[in-house]
Chains A and B, each alone.
Chain A
Amino acid sequence: MAKRIDVSGLTAYYSAHKAIEDISMTVEPRSVTAFIGPSGCGKSTFLRTLNRMHEVTPGGRVEGKVLLDDEDLYANGVDPVNVRRTIGMVFQRPNPFPTMSIFDNVAAGLKLNGQYKKSELNNVVEKSLKGANLWNEVKDRLNKPGSGLSGGQQQRLCIARAIAVEPQVLLMDEPCSALDPISTLAIEDLIGELKERFTIVIVTHNMQQAARVSDRTAFFNLSAVGQPGRLIEIDDTERIFSNPSVQATEDYISGRFG
Chain B
Amino acid sequence: MDISTQDAPVPPPTTTPTAEQKRAARGATRPGDRIFLGLSRGSGILLLVIMAAIAAFLTYRAIDAISADEANFFTAFEWEANSTPPRFGIAVLAYGTIVSSIIAMVIAVPISVGIALFITHYAPRRLGGLISYVIDLLAAVPSIVYGLWGALVLVPNLKGLYGWLDAYLGWTGIFSWQGLEPRSLFAVGILLAIMILPIVTNVSREVFRQAPQMHQEAALALGATRWEVIRMSVLPFGRSGVISASMLGLGRALGETMAVATVLSPNFLIEASLLDGGGGTFAQNIASKFGEATETGRDALIASGLVLFVITLLVNGAARMIIARRKEYSGANA
What residues of chain A have their CB less than 8 Å away from a CB belonging to chain B? 51, 53, 56, 58, 81-86, 88-89, 91, 93, 95-100, 108-109, 112-113, 145, 147-148, 158, 161-162, 165
Contact = CB atoms under 8 A, between A and B. Distances in A.
Interface stretch (B14-22, B210-218, B263-271): B210-218
Given A112-B222, A112-B228, A97 B215 contact: yes
A70 B233 CA distance: 33
A108 B333 contact: no
A95 B214 contact: yes
Given A58-B125, A84-B223, A84-B224, 12 more contacts: A53-B220, A82-B223, A84-B221, A86-B223, A91-B221, A93-B214, A96-B218, A97-B215, A98-B331, A108-B232, A147-B334, A165-B223
Given A97-B232, A112-B228, A51 B333 contact: no
13 contacts: A84-B220, A84-B221, A84-B224, A86-B223, A91-B218, A97-B236, A100-B236, A108-B222, A112-B224, A145-B328, A148-B328, A158-B218, A165-B223
A257 B124 CA distance: 42
A51 to B, nearest CB: 7
A86 B222 CA distance: 9
Interface string B312-328: 00000000000000001
Interface of B: 125, 212, 214-215, 217-225, 228, 232-233, 236-237, 239, 328-331, 333-334
A95 B224 contact: no
A143 B334 CA distance: 17
B214 A97 contact: no
Contacts of A109: 222-223
A165 B222 contact: yes
A148 B334 CA distance: 9
A95 B223 contact: no
Nearest to A101: B329
Contact of A99 (B125, B214, B228, B237): B237
B223 to A, nearest CB: 3
B221 A98 contact: no
Contact of A81 (B224, B333, B334): B224
Contact of B218 (A82, A97, A145): A97
B232 A91 contact: no
Contact of A98 (B125, B225, B228, B333): B333
Contacts of B219: 97, 108
A85 B220 CA distance: 9
B334 A84 contact: no
B330 A95 contact: no
* Residue among B215, B218, B237 facing the most chain A CB atoms (10 A cut-off): B218
A158 B221 CA distance: 11
B334 A98 contact: yes
* Residue among B223, B224, B239, B328 facing the most chain A CB atoms (10 A cut-off): B223
B210 to A, nearest CB: 13
Nearest to B236: A99
A91 to B, nearest CB: 6
A56 B217 contact: yes
B258 to A, nearest CB: 40
Contacts of B334: 95, 98, 147
A161 B222 contact: yes
Contact of A85 (B223, B232, B329): B223
Contacts of A86: 223
B215 to A, nearest CB: 6
B214 to A, nearest CB: 4
B223 A81 contact: yes
Contacts of A83: 223
Contacts of B222: 84-85, 88, 108-109, 112, 161-162, 165
A78 to B, nearest CB: 13
Contacts of B331: 98-99
Contacts of B215: 95, 97-98
A91 B214 contact: yes
A148 B330 CA distance: 11
A109 B224 CA distance: 8
Given A95-B214, A98-B333, A53 B223 contact: no
Contacts of A91: 214, 217-218, 221
A19 to B, nearest CB: 17
Contacts of B228: 112
B330 A99 contact: yes
